[in-house]
Structure formats: C-alpha cells, structure tokens
Amino acid sequence: MKGSITIVGLGPGSEKLISSEVQDAISNASDIVGYKNYVNRIAPRTEQNIHSSDNKFEISRAELAVKLALDGKRVVVVSSGDPGIFAMSSAFFEYIDKTEENVDDIEINVLPGISSLLAASSRIGAPLGHDFCVINLSDNLKPWKILEKRIILAIQSDFVVVFFNPRSKARPDTLKNAFKIFKKYSHCDRLVFFARSVYRKNEDLKIVKLSEASHEMADMNTLVIIGSSVSKLVSKNKTFFYTPRYYKP
C-alpha cells in the first residue's frame, strides 16, 4: 500500500500562526522530512520518525519523501512560511517532474502557511495595499543579470518590491547592489522596511528612507519591503507604513 506526502508551511515563526490543518497533518504523520531548523520547530513524538537535513538539500528531501511514501508512510515535508513561495513545494514538484519513480498512487497535498511577506506587512501596517512584486535576491539558481533586469522593471512599473534572501555570508553585496539600482532608477526617496525574524523573540523592525538604507541593516533572516512612489507613513498611536488602494503617481 502506498502512502501520502503532505507539504506544509509552518508560518514565519510563531506557533500561533500555524494553521489547524497543518497541525493535524503533522500530528498524523509517520515521518517528518525537512531542513533541520524547521524540523526543530516541531515537538517530537515518540511514534514519528524525523528526517532532518542541512540547507540546499531540497531535491534530496523530495526524493526521500517519495521513497518513504512508496513504502506506505504518511510523510509530512515542512517549510517555513508558505511552502509554495521560494520553498519546498517547487523543489518537490521539480523532482517528481523528472523522476522515473511511479508516484501516481501516492496521495500528494500542499497545505499553505503564512508567508513572511504577509507577516512582515502586518507588523508595520499595509505596505502591500496595492500592486507589488516579490524578488528572491539569491543568485544561486539564476544569474545576476536576470535579477538586475527584474529590479529595474519593477522600479519602472512602480511596484512595491519585496526582497527575499537579501544578504548572506556567501552573498554579502547583493542587497547593496540592489539599493544602487533603486537609487539610480527611482525618482523618489522611497520607504524601506527591514523586518528581521518576524514573530520571533528576536524580532527587529526598522523603517527608513532609501537614501538612509544600508545593506548592513539586513541578513538572511530579514525581509526587505521597498515602497512604491505613493507609499507613505501615517503616525497615530504609532507609525504605520501603507500603500493606498488608489494610484495617483
């Protein structure tokens, strides 16, 4: 008898933001597969087998999940945030698209999670209140020329821009270069929001103007949101960052 694979999102970091549907899938799983930092967020159960691995082993995790499911296991593959946004779902379907294993009888489901871009937005107001785009600044799987082109077009289209994976030890200057592009092509001093470790104990939120923004304000745990030309701040009991629903550039 073949088993099942459920790919789930654990949200940005708070247990309260994990959906009941995802919690039920985890509770009923025989095997948990995922990046070690995400698997460590799940309370251990004696009846479950845990298969954790380091970063950059997404395809290996997908292969393992299929192997376990073919043996009749109820497998849950975990991602942070939402599994379909720069996360495990895409890697999983990339694997089954190419594999010669017969996966037709495996039940496959994807359960959504709260993406860090939604969690970060909620912490500051409504910066995603109008059209926006999301760009992964990692150039591990795509060339910088493509990234540069997309950033320029996003600026020219006057989108709010969300940057995932803005900076790492291996890529210390990607966000610095992105800011250079913004300062060259943008016609206004846009608002920049740095949201580090959202909904975690070490959460750190900063909002500055583009002219004041530094790449050193971000790391791999930071999401960066750059406003459009109409995004603004409003100060009441505290300061909020929002993008109006209307558009009058």
47-98: pLDDT as tens digits: 899 999 988 899 999 999 999 999 999 999 999 999 999 999 999 999 999 9
**Residues in Cβ contact with 235 at an 8 Å cutoff, skipping those fewer than 6 apart:** none
Q: Please, what are the domains in the chain?
A: 4-114 (3.40.1010.10), 117-242 (3.30.950.10)
Name which of 114, 86, 122, 134 is nearest 203 in CA terms: 122
pLDDT of residue 155: 98
Please name the residues in contact with 190: beta carbons below 8 A apart, sequence gap of 6 or more.
182, 209, 210, 226, 227, 228, 229, 231
pTM of the predicted structure, to 2 decimals: 0.93
> Within 10 Å of residue 181's Cβ, how many Cβ atoms?
16
Low-confidence ranges of the chain (pLDDT < 50): none
pLDDT of residue 171: 87
Give the pLDDT score at 55.
81
Tokens of 37: 């930092």
- Cα–Cα dist 14/16, whole Å: 5
